[in-house]
Amino acid sequence: MRNKVVYIMMLLASIFGNRFISYSQDLTQYVDPFIGTGAHGHTFPGPCLPHGMVQVSPDTGEDGWDWCSGYHDSDTSLMGFSLTHLSGTGAADLGDILFMAYTGGWKTEPGSKEHPGEGYRSIFSHQDEQASVGYYSVMLKSYGIKAELTATARCALQRYTYPKTGDRDMIIDLGRGIQNKTVSSSIRFVGDDAVEGYRQSTGWAHDRYVYFYAKFNQPIEKKAIDNDGQIEEDKAAGTGKIEKALIRFSGTTGQPVLVKVSISAVSIANAKANLESGLPGWDFSAVRASAEKSWNKLLSKIEVEGGSTAEKRTFYTAVYHSLLAPYLYSDVNGQYVGMDRKVHQAQGFHYYTVFSLWDTFRAAHPLYSLIEPKTNDDFVKSMLAMYKEGGRLPVWELDSNETWCMIGNHSIPVIADACLHGHPDFNIAEAYQAMKATVEDTIRGMKAYHQYGYVPDNVENNSVSITVEYAYDDWCVAQVARKLGKMADYRKYMQRAENYKNLYNPATRFLQGKDTQGQWREPFNPIDVSRLGSDDFTEGNSWQYTFFAPQDVDGLVHLIGGKKAFAHKLDSLFDQPSINNNPGEPDVSGMIGQYAQGNEPSHEIAYLYDYVGEPYKTADRVREIMDSLYTDTRSGLCGNDDCGQMSAWYVFGAMGFYPVNPSSGEYAIGSPVFSKITLHTGSGHPFEVEAKDVSKANKYIQSATLNGKDYPYSYITRKTIEQGGRLIFRMGDKPSSWATQPKDCPVSHIDY
Three-state secondary structure call for residue 463: helix
Q: What is the pLDDT of residue 497?
A: 98
For the cut 60, the answer to whether the pLDDT of residue 415 exceeds it is yes
What is the chain's mean pLDDT, rounded?
96
pLDDT at 4 > cutoff 50: no
Q: How far is residue 671's CA from residue 731's CA, in Å, rounded to a whole number?
A: 9
Residue 165 has pLDDT above 50, yes or no: yes
Residues 6+ apart with CB under 8 A from 445: 455, 459, 460, 463, 466, 470
Q: Does 741 score more than 90 pLDDT?
A: yes
- At residue 751, what is the residue type? D
Q: What is the model's pLDDT at position 18?
A: 41
Per-residue pLDDT tens over the stretch 677-691: 999 998 899 999 999
- DSSP letter (8 states) at residue 2: H
Q: Answer for the pair 122, 143: CB distance below 8 angstroms, yes or no.
A: yes
Give 142's DSSP letter.
T
Residue 461: is it exposed, middle or buried by C-beta count within 10 angstroms (0-12/13-18/19+)?
buried
pLDDT tens column, 96-126: 999 999 999 999 999 999 999 999 999 999 9
Equal CATH topology for 341-426 and 442-524: no
Per CATH, the number for 341-426 is 1.20.1050.60
CATH topology of domain 442-524: Glycosyl hydrolase family fold (1.20.1610)
Task: Return the domain boundaries, the chain.
Answer: 32-296, 341-426, 442-524
CB 449 within 8 A of CB 390: no
- Tell me what the mean pLDDT of segment 422-430 comes to: 93
Spatial distance between the Cα atoms of 381 and 419, rounded to a whole number of angstroms = 12
Angle at 623 between CA 619 and CA 624, to 5 degrees: 115
Which CATH number is associated with domain 32-296? 2.70.98.10
pLDDT of 554 over the 70 cut: yes
pLDDT band at 720 (very low <50, low <70, confident <90, very high): very high
Determine the 3-state secondary structure of 170 from DSSP: strand
Indicate if the pLDDT at residue 5 is higher than 60: no
For 288-324, how does the pLDDT look when each residue is reduced to its tens digit (9 = 90+)? 999 999 999 999 999 999 999 999 999 999 999 999 9
